[in-house]
């Protein structure tokens, strides 16, 4: 995700003092919001800690290994990617990360509730990305969405599963297939067909555990570099095959306005549509 980006000069870290000032203000608001109990002495409810929450340099391989294990032990890709990074932040940073429930992203498993939409590994990891980069601006562009967009593009291009976790896997050297899109559906189904494995087999579970590990590893590495000022998420550019589609159908960009911006998104059009212009 990071190798292709030019190194930028140092960017200032966000102001930690400003964040704690907001925290204090939040406490004051909380005291006004006392629930009027019968005694009038109900304890003040703490206000939610505003974003962004603090990041610290984490070990990407440890995040990846935890994600691989949590996928199998805790149940699913959303929990695997989210809890791997969250558990490290709880240990290394503490509050406010300690206020988040471990199973917050459990519903993201199998593309949310088994629906096969967004890969849960991307869902869990992108929740953390938003929480630490919310409001972060580089080159006048908000980075939370840009990093998530970049992550989804990276994922679609990967041939999964990688061999990074083969040393802890009972099924190493699995067949690798390009995910094609950030959708659980294409990522898993294309692999299952190529591997001749059903969705409920040990092989498929192993494959997805490694995918979750790779996503957690990559996101942790990217966030480490982002907060060291070594990386800025580049703006999305359509691939050569679809740049003419985007010129007509959108999305419009800062430099190019689509005549009819009537499609949403940055996915590869030709995965699902024929080219009606040829």
**44, two tokens:** 């003040």
Pick the closer one to ligand HEC by CB: 84 or 187.
Answer: 187
Location of structure tokens 């704690």: 20
Helix (H, G, I), strand (E, B) or coil at 214: helix
Q: Is 25 in the site for ligand HEC (CB under 6 A)?
A: no
Q: Is 273 in the site for ligand HEC (CB under 6 A)?
A: yes
C-alpha separations of 195 from 176, 217, 262 in Å: 9, 24, 37
Beta bridge partners of 137: 142
Q: Going residue by residue from 238 to 257, which x/- string records binding to ligand HEC, judged by CB under 6 A? A: ----x-xxxxxx--------
Largest CA distance in the chain: 76
Smallest distance from the beta carbon of 272 to ligand HEC, in angstroms? 3
Beta bridge partners of 183: 118
Smallest distance from the beta carbon of 122 to ligand HEC, in angstroms? 15
C-alpha–C-alpha distance, residues 153 and 267, integer Å: 8
Per CB under 6 A, the segment of 94-102, 197-205, 226-234, 259-267 that binds ligand HEC is 259-267
C-alpha–C-alpha distance, residues 105 and 108, integer Å: 6
Smallest distance from the beta carbon of 190 to ligand HEC, in angstroms? 12
Smallest distance from the beta carbon of 216 to ligand HEC, in angstroms? 25
Query: Residue 85, preceding bond cis, omega within 30 degrees?
Result: no
Smallest distance from the beta carbon of 46 to ligand HEC, in angstroms? 42
Smallest distance from the beta carbon of 149 to ligand HEC, in angstroms? 13
DSSP letter for 47, please.
P
Pick the closer one to ligand HEC by CB: 137 or 275.
Answer: 275
Pick the closer one to ligand HEC by CB: 198 or 278.
Answer: 278
DSSP letter for 33, please.
T
Q: Is 72 in the site for ligand HEC (CB under 6 A)?
A: no
Smallest distance from the beta carbon of 148 to ligand HEC, in angstroms? 17
For the four alpha carbons of 220, 226, 231 and 237, in that order, the dihedral sign comes to: positive
Pick the closer one to ligand HEC by CB: 4 or 262.
Answer: 262
Smallest distance from the beta carbon of 187 to ligand HEC, in angstroms? 12
Within 177-206, the residues that bind ligand HEC by CB under 6 A are: 181
C-alpha–C-alpha distance, residues 105 and 182, integer Å: 17
DSSP letter for 141, please.
E
C-alpha separations of 92 from 85, 88, 100, 126, 234 in Å: 10, 6, 15, 20, 29
Backbone angles phi, psi at 152, to 5 degrees: -65, -40
Binding-residue total with ligand HEC (CB under 6 A): 21
Binding site for ligand HEC (CB under 6 A): 181, 242, 244-249, 260, 262-263, 267-273, 275-277
């Amino acid at each position: 995700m990071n190798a292709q980006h030019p190194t930028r000069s140092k960017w200032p870290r966000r102001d930690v003092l400003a964040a704690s000032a907001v925290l204090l203000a939040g406490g004051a608001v909380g005291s006004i919001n006392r629930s009027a109990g019968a005694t009038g002495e109900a304890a003040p409810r703490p206000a939610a800690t505003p974003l962004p929450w603090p990041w610290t340099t984490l070990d990407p391989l440890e995040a990846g290994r935890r994600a691989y294990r949590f996928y199998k032990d805790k149940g699913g890709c959303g929990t695997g990617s989210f809890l791997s990074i969250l558990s490290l932040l709880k240990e290394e940073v503490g509050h406010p990360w300690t206020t988040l429930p471990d199973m917050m992203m459990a519903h993201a498993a199998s593309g949310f509730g088994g629906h096969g939409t967004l890969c849960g590994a991307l869902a869990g990891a992108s929740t953390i990305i938003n929480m630490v980069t919310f409001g972060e601006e580089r080159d006048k562009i908000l980075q939370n969405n840009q990093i998530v967009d970049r992550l989804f593009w990276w994922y679609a291009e990967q041939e999964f599963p990688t061999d990074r976790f083969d040393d802890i896997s009972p099924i190493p050297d699995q067949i690798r297939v390009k995910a094609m899109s950030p959708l659980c559906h294409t990522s898993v189904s294309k692999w299952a067909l190529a591997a001749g494995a059903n969705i409920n087999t040990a092989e498929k579970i192993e494959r997805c555990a490694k995918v979750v590990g790779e996503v957690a590893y990559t996101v942790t590495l990217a966030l480490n570099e982002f907060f060291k000022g070594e990386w800025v998420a580049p703006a999305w550019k359509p691939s050569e095959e679809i740049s003419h589609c985007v010129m007509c159908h959108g999305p419009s960009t800062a430099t190019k306005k689509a005549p009819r911006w009537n499609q949403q998104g940055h996915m590869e059009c030709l995965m699902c549509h024929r080219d009606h212009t040829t």
